[in-house]
């Protein structure tokens, strides 16, 4: 697992281009919010001089409190603007994730506060050659932005993220089943990209499902995330067009006194039972091994994405006790109803004074437990979403479910089939979009994502 580090000589920030400024349903979240483990470095970055665009503050190694800058009429105080020593970027904006690594970024690292998920379809005349050129452009732009640099040299950058640090930006790329026929690469199509089976609770919108290419963008700053979204969409040019796009959010880092597992829009902790990198079989469950087939997927993973709308009005009409019975956990701290704390293994056999199981037969944590599904497990790294209100006044809100596994036929599919047959939580959910993508391993220095597929 990579560790954080501070560079002795920082590379240029986005703000250098101006003359005045050099320089994480029961488990659908990001696990316990531990540090990065993507095979990428996450490192605080130091800035040069302050600018009028940057709020004054300190982020010293001693954790000194920020300096207040104030003056009558809202103007900057002369002493603050002229006499303050150089300051570092805030801790929130200073963290960078390396684009290069064994695995792509954005899989194991803690989920960021802001996310964009989108799919592209190749243009009618675009084939393998054009797709390779697009992946080169996308990879270079992602590498630069993840390092806190503009996506390209010159003056074409939109300036959306000027003065911002990298803010834990990650950009992840994947390929849908249709990509292989569009590029003449059907002989390299992984068996794991077989279409997902139909589930009885699905009400899928085909226009918001599937796609040739998939992009996941995450950052702890909303402008940094949107800047990356806009840059990649512009780079697609005439090669690919957006098929669908979804935006989501999580709790911001530092919003709680101490790190906590994320909560979803139902108020439940979300990600407690996620596999953890320190578990001995973690890599086996989540990543394709070096000896895996096809070889170009070595170090990669398969991602299932679903738009799951939550029936929040119906959910909120139930009592706290009823909600806890549906999930099988206490809402206050995420502890299983069988007792203990959040990390306590649920005792599925424990019974109450009335002889009934403390965790109901259809409780979500029982139905999704690996022991209930032949050991099937996924790494869930999702985002919440709210897209306004529906015609009936209900919130159009829920979960952008993102689940990673070495093989969806052994991860997502058996668990979803079990949920389909009898999960108390399913009464409050609507699955409205679905997609499956092959996400290759991380690129080496000088490589672009997918190079081993497109040029192998």
Catalytic residue among 163, 220, 270, 423: 270
27 secondary structure, DSSP code: S
Three-class SS of residue 275?
coil
Residues in CB range of 206: below 8 A, 6 or more apart: none
Angle between helices 222-236 and 128-146 (to 10 degrees): 160
Among 5, 93, 83, residue whose Cα is nearest residue 49? 83
263 secondary structure, DSSP code: B
What phi and psi values does residue 341 have, to the nearest 5 degrees?
Answer: -120, -175
Q: How many CA atoms lie within 13 A of 41 on its CB side?
A: 10
- Cα separations (Å) of 265 from 249, 310, 312? 11, 8, 8
Alpha-carbon distance of 404 to 384, in angstroms, equals 17
Scanning the structure block, which residue is given the tokens 């803010």? 167
What phi and psi values does residue 438 have, to the nearest 5 degrees?
Answer: -90, 125
Alpha-carbon distance of 28 to 331, in angstroms, equals 16
**Are the C-beta atoms of 23 and 47 separated by less than 8 Å?**
yes
Q: Which H or E run includes 121?
A: strand 114-122
Indicate the pairing of strand 383-389 with strand 395-405. antiparallel
Residue 270 annotated among the catalytic residues of the structure? yes
Q: Which residues pair with 313 in a beta bridge?
A: none
368 secondary structure, DSSP code: H
What the block records as the tokens of 413 is 């599919």
Residues in CB range of 420: below 8 A, 6 or more apart: 199, 200, 201, 426
Residues serving a catalytic function are: 270
């Amino acid at each position: 697992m990579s560790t954080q580090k501070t560079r002795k000589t920082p590379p240029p920030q986005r703000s250098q281009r101006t003359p005045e400024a050099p320089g994480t349903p029961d488990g659908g979240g990001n696990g316990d919010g531990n540090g990065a483990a993507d095979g990428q470095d996450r490192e605080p970055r130091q800035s040069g001089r302050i600018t009028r665009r940057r709020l004054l503050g300190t982020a010293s190694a001693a954790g000194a409190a920020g300096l207040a800058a104030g003056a009558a009429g809202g103007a900057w105080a002369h002493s603050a603007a002229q006499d303050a020593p150089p300051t570092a970027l805030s801790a929130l904006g200073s963290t960078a994730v390396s684009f290069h690594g064994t695995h792509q970024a954005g899989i194991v690292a803690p989920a960021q506060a802001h996310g964009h998920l989108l799919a592209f379809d190749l243009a009618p005349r675009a084939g393998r050659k054009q797709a390779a050129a697009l992946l080169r452009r996308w990879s270079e732009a992602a590498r630069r932005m993840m390092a806190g640099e503009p996506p390209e040299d010159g003056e074409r950058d939109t300036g959306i993220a000027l003065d911002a640090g990298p803010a834990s930006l990650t950009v992840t790329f994947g390929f849908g089943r249709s990509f292989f026929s569009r590029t003449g690469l059907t002989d390299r199509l992984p068996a794991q990209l077989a279409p997902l089976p139909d589930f009885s609770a699905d009400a899928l919108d085909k226009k918001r499902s599937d796609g040739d290419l998939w992009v996941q963008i995450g950052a702890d700053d909303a402008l940094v995330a949107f800047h990356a979204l806009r840059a990649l969409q512009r780079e697609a040019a005439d090669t690919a067009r957006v098929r669908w796009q979804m935006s989501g959010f999580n709790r911001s880092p530092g919003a709680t006194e101490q790190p906590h597992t994320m909560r979803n829009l139902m108020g439940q902790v979300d990600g407690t039972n996620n596999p953890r990198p320190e578990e001995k079989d973690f890599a086996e469950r989540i990543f394709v091994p070096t000896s895996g087939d096809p070889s170009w997927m070595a170090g990669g993973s398969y991602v299932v994405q679903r738009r799951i709308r939550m029936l929040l009005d119906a959910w909120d009409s139930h009592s706290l006790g009823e909600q806890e019975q549906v999930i099988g956990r206490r809402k206050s701290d995420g502890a299983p109803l069988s007792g203990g704390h959040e990390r306590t293994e649920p005792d599925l056999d424990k019974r109450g004074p009335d002889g009934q199981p403390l965790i109901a037969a259809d409780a979500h944590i029982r139905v999704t437990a690996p022991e209930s599904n032949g050991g099937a497990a996924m790494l869930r790294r999702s985002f919440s979403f709210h897209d306004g209100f529906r015609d009936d006044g209900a919130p159009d809100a829920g979960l952008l479910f993102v689940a990673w596994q070495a093989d969806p036929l052994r991860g997502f599919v058996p668990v979803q089939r079990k949920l389909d047959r009898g999960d108390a939580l399913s009464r409050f959910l609507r699955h409205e979009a679905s997609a499956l993508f092959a996400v290759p391993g991380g690129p080496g220095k000088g490589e672009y994502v997918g190079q081993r597929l497109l040029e192998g």
